[in-house]
Amino acid sequence: MASVHRVAELRDRVRGWKRAGLRVGFVPTMGNLHAGHLQLLTCARQQADRVVASVFVNPLQFGPNEDFDRYPRTLSEDAAKLESVGCDLLFAPSVTEMYPHGREHLSGVRVPALSELLEGEFRPGFFDGVATVVSILFNQVQPDMAVFGEKDWQQLQVVRRMVADLHLPIEIVGHPTAREADGLALSSRNQYLSAQERKLAPLLHRELQRIVDALAQARRDYAALQARAEEQLRASGFEPQYVAIRAPDLQLPTVDAREWVVLAAAFLGRTRLIDNRYLRL
């Protein structure tokens, strides 16, 4: 596996593959890779001739009181993991390489229809940072397809809408959430949990699964189901920000819906966890 840090080097490599008629897959990450990230690479490997992964801790995705400075940077370990699953090229740019004219007046991309609700309500500007950096990476890599994890369901919908609105010739593939044996969704932030918090963390997934089971049994009292889950989480030591039953496109579901996604975000101590469960009847 080769590693490059400059856009010109990246484009030179990809240009050669394109000339040879090869299909290029892409997996953007912020590094500190775990098994869930590697599943995304494996998925891309199965659907493309060459695979590029990026490792870039994007400052635009962190608010003033969030954990940008303490977010783990583990580039050498990440490179070894990427190579182990057949990644062809690692792109690891600096902030200066990504934003050569600075961030203050950076041209941005915004997906207003999906960016203000749920995560956007509690993390203002977050999805503007996501849409902007992903659009930049798409222009740099120019992949034929890109893989995103379904754990970040709202992010996946934002990216899909952006690609559709901007008519980008990129296939967006969602990959199911990778989980621990007890149901906890894999996340780089799980390492922040104390031993006691780690024991409690799977309760988030269990509450979402309870809602999914209720929907499957024809319960349609959405507000009551959401409120009960928040109450249960609070009683278990979480500080829930939202539990929401939505249509897959994140609109409010109708009572005769046959497809839902149940999403939640909650603090456990200082660690913010997110998760979701999808159901289609």
| Identified catalytic residue from 5, 37, 101, 167 | 37
For Cα atoms 167, 170, 172, give the angle at the middle one, nearest 5 degrees.
110
Rounded Cα gap, residues 171 and 148, in angstroms: 11
The residues near 177 (Cβ < 8 Å, ≥ 6 apart) are 36, 149, 150, 151, 185, 186, 275, 276
Q: Sheet of 50-55: strands edge to edge?
A: 2-4, 89-91, 50-55, 24-29, 145-149, 171-175
Buried b vs exposed e over 176-208: b needs ≥16 C-beta within 10 Å? ebbbeeebbbbbbebebbeeebbebbbbbbebb
At position 26, the amino acid (one-letter code) is F
Is 37 catalytic? The answer is: yes
Residues recognised as catalytic: 37
